Amino acid sequence: MSGIDKKTVEKIAQLANLKLSESEVTKFTSQLSEVIDYNVEQLNKVDTEKVEPLLNASGLVNSTREDITEPSLSQDQVLKNAKETHNGFFKVKQILDQT
Amino acid sequence: MKTIREIEKSLNNKEISSVELTRETLRVAKEKDQELASFLSFSEEIALEQAKSADNLRAVDKEVCWLTGVPYGLKDIIVTKDVATTASSKILEDFVPPYNSTVYDRLLSVKGVLLGKNNCDEFAMGGSTENSAYQKTKNPYDLTRVPGGSSGGSAAAVAAGLVPFSIGTDTGGSIRQPASFCNVVGLKPTYGRVSRYGLIPMGNSLDQAGPITQTVEDSALVLNIIAGYDPKDATSFKKELPDYSKNLWEGVKGKKFGVVREYLNEGVDKEVAEIFKKALKTIEKLGGEVVDISLPRSEQAVSVYYLVMSSEVSTNLSRYEGIRFGKSRDHFGPEVKRRIMLGTYSLSSGYYDAYYLKAAKVRRLIAEDFQDAFKKVDFILGPTSPVLPFKFGEKIDDPLQMYLCDIFTVPQNLAGLPAISIPSGFVGKLPVGLQITANHWQEEELFKAAFAFEQETKYFEKKAEGF
């Protein structure tokens, strides 16, 4: 059993930067436990000793290109969808203490 | 609705201009869509402009592309410059992309006509299109049932004759399952065949775009345009592209079709299994040989998929912070939050090895199973979905049950294989799809097999009543 309780769900929500309501926390606690328990039980049936993880099914590795600059989006285009801008920059909330 | 080939003919013969066709298609689509709700938006002005430009080209050039002047839809997860792209989510309600996806760029380059953007599950997460934050698309074959998902708007629009084709995306069956539910043709190409640039990502190692069409030939004609290497997508492949529509008539004589018998015992609707057995008879009649195979690790495919996919989802969707574009994170719907939570948990410290890494290892075994199978057979056959199109609300509150319905479609994404769903019969008025899977880069072979089955059975000719 994964032992997912309300506290775990609240911690995960914080890591995921999601604000959950009380009822969402309750619902996710049972749904995540159910889904995780089922999936882990399934996976544990398989012996994976000496098996390398498969991260990309096509087998392509390290696709590179010449280091040549090409035209890209203009500053105006890039900022077009921003909620707040300042002097041509994205404006974000202060995250560091001023002192 | 005429097929792409038929439309091409009437445009070439000057029976109709693209502007006239676009006007008429828009008029009919808007009217029918009041009931169907398959489009989130119609881009009328842009469509007429593109149609005019297509007519101008056709007037001076006799050798234009088969898609020139042909209207189509795009799943609203495909980014279109200056045309709102929402991913059916409230978080992107006001997002107007400053760039084009490569898929759309390719269709622009041959002067196809973008009629509008199709509804889907929010961020392509779901199997019924009920997770769209905007509207519930209905199944044209039974308006009380879902069209499948996540590309449900695309499949319903093509099935109801609103557009001759639409482009969907498929992360764990999202092109094939709605195609099966709506009696149309849905192709998920090999991973790397079609550029992912400008597809709003869900699971980067799994996502592929592909055509949803009325016929197999149309599917080949669309893939011809959207496939190919793209420097903007580092996972797209430099590989020669055949003309997919050229050798469709070659048939399946002497080809071997693998079937996993144990699939048909558990969890598959009886009627679906019956239709599948009938399809096997048809394959044999066409000269194909049906062979028993086993894919022992497929049993774990759904579990691997939900851990790998949700991990990629939680990473991908961290980009929505309401600063550079879009709204704040409280605008995500319930299924999106659920998958972000699941993925964040799988990746979190202390659990990574047991969940994500373990899943990635079993993923390799699933891919190896397929390679063993393809030493013995050319294709693998199965039903696309274990269940018939279901009623609205029937599964939405039980995520695990909904997830288990993906059993036949997720293994191909995990292994990066191409697969196609084609019409294979009806239970009452409800369509049932047949899925054919081939080895990497074998889309041309896939089309030949699908075409042979289609020409023998012609289930695509049975249109939804009232549409």
> Quick one: pLDDT at residue A1?
57
Q: For residue A86, which residues of chain B lie inside 8 Å, CB to CB? A: none
Pick A60's closest partner by Cβ from B235, B323, B355: B235
Average pLDDT, whole number, for chain B?
A: 96
All residue ranges of chain B with pLDDT < 70 are none
Whether residue A19 and residue B330 make contact (CB cut-off 8 A), yes or no, is yes
Please say if the pLDDT value at position A99 is more than 90. no
> Quick one: pLDDT at residue B429?
97
> Quick one: pLDDT at residue A64?
85
Q: For residue B208, which residues of chain A lie inside 8 Å, CB to CB? A: none
pLDDT in tens, B135-163: 999 999 999 999 999 999 999 999 999 99
> Quick one: pLDDT at residue B62?
84
> Quick one: pLDDT at residue B102?
98
pLDDT in tens, B329-344: 999 999 999 999 999 9
Q: For residue B205, which residues of chain A lie inside 8 Å, CB to CB? A: 55-57
What b-and-e string marks burial along B263-286, b requiring 16 or more CB atoms within 10 Å of the CB? bbeeebeebbbebbeebeebbeeb
Q: Are B103 and B222 in contact (CB under 8 A)?
A: no
Strand partners, B188: B419
The Cα B37–Cα B23 span in angstroms is 19
Please say if the pLDDT value at position A82 is more than 70. yes
Whether residue B360 and residue A53 make contact (CB cut-off 8 A), yes or no, is yes
User: What is the count of residue pairs from A and B with beta carbons less than 8 Å apart?
Assistant: 151
> Quick one: pLDDT at residue A96?
86
Whether residue B324 and residue A36 make contact (CB cut-off 8 A), yes or no, is no
Please say if the pLDDT value at position A98 is more than 80. no
Closest residue, chain B, to A44 (C-alpha): B358
Q: Can you give the pTM of this predicted structure? A: 0.97
Provide the token pair at B9: 């003919």
A5 to chain B, any CB pair closer than 8 A? The answer is no
pLDDT in tens, A16-55: 999 999 999 999 999 999 999 999 999 999 999 999 999 8
Peptide bond preceding B41 in cis form (omega within 30 of 0): no
**Min Cα separation A23/chain B (Å):** 12
* Residues of B noted as catalytic: 75, 150, 174
Strand partners, B194: B227
Pick A36's closest partner by Cβ from B314, B326, B345: B345
**Min Cα separation B166/chain A (Å):** 26
Phi-psi region of B114 (alpha: psi -120 to 50; beta: other; left: phi over 0): beta
Q: For residue A32, which residues of chain B lie inside 8 Å, CB to CB? A: 338, 341-342, 345
For chain A, positions 35-74, list CB contacts with chain B under 8 A: 35-36, 38-40, 42-46, 48, 51-58, 60, 63, 65, 73
Give the pLDDT band (50/70/90) at residue A2: low
The Cα B213–Cα B155 span in angstroms is 8
Count, residues in chain A: 99
Whether residue A80 and residue B321 make contact (CB cut-off 8 A), yes or no, is no
Whether residue B364 and residue A51 make contact (CB cut-off 8 A), yes or no, is yes
**Min Cα separation A99/chain B (Å):** 25
Pick A92's closest partner by Cβ from B191, B323, B330: B323
pLDDT in tens, B396-442: 878 888 888 899 999 999 999 999 999 999 999 999 999 999 999 99
Q: For residue B399, which residues of chain A lie inside 8 Å, CB to CB? A: 31, 34-35
pLDDT in tens, B305-323: 999 999 999 999 999 999 9
Give the pLDDT band (50/70/90) at residue A61: confident
**C-alpha distances in angstroms, B2 versus B25, B125, B178, B461?**
11, 31, 20, 11
